[in-house]
Amino acid sequence: MPTLHRHRSDPLNVKEFRTLARRRLPRRIFDYVDGGAEDERGLVRNQVAFERLTFSPRRLVDVSHRDLSTRLLGGIASAPLLIAPMGLSGLVWPRGDIELARAAERAQIPFILSTASNVSIERLAGEAGGDLWFQLYVLHPALADQLVARALKAGYRTLVVTVDVPLNGKRERDARNGFALPLRYTPGVLLDGLLHPRWSYALMRDGGVPELANFASADASNVEVQGALLRRQMDASFAWDDLRRIRDQWPHRLIVKGILRAPTMRPGASNSEPMA
Ligand X SMILES: Cc1cc2nc3c(=O)[nH]c(=O)nc-3n(C[C@H](O)[C@H](O)[C@H](O)COP(=O)(O)O)c2cc1C
In 3D, which of 70, 94, 90 has the Cα closest to residue 80? Answer: 70
Least CB distance to ligand X at residue 35 (A): 9
> According to DSSP H, which parts of the chain are helical?
14-24, 27-34, 41-52, 89-92, 96-107, 121-127, 141-153, 172-177, 187-195, 197-205, 223-231, 240-249
**Which region among 82-90, 98-106, 193-201, 239-247 touches ligand X (by CB under 6 A)?**
82-90
Stretch that binds ligand X, among 84-92, 151-159, 195-203, 266-274 (CB under 6 A): 84-92
* Of positions 30, 98, 100, 114, contacts ligand X by CB under 6 A: 114
Quote the CA–CA distance of 9 and 12 in Å, as a whole number.
9
Establish if 46 lies at the interface with ligand X (CB under 6 A).
Answer: yes
Q: Can residue 35 be called a binding residue for ligand X (CB under 6 A)?
A: no
37 sits near ligand X (criterion: CB under 6 A): no
* 110 is a site residue for ligand X (CB under 6 A): no
b/e for 245-269, b at 16 or more Cβ within 10 A? ebeeebeeebeeeeeeeeeeeeeee
**Binding residues for ligand X, total number by CB under 6 A:** 11
Nearer to ligand X, 47 or 269 (CB): 47
257 is a site residue for ligand X (CB under 6 A)? yes
143/227 Cα distance (integer angstroms): 11
Closer Cβ to ligand X, 85 or 110, answer by number: 85
- Cα separation of 141 and 147, whole Å? 10
> Between 63 and 260, whose beta carbon lies closer to ligand X?
260
Q: Check: CB of residue 79 under 8 Å from CB of residue 68.
A: yes
Using CB under 6 A, pick the residue from 146, 158, 162, 177 that binds ligand X: 162
232 binds ligand X (CB under 6 A): no
Q: In this structure, are strands 70-72 and 132-136 parallel, antiparallel, or unpaired?
A: unpaired
Residues that bind ligand X (CB under 6 A): 33, 46, 84-87, 114, 116, 135, 162, 257
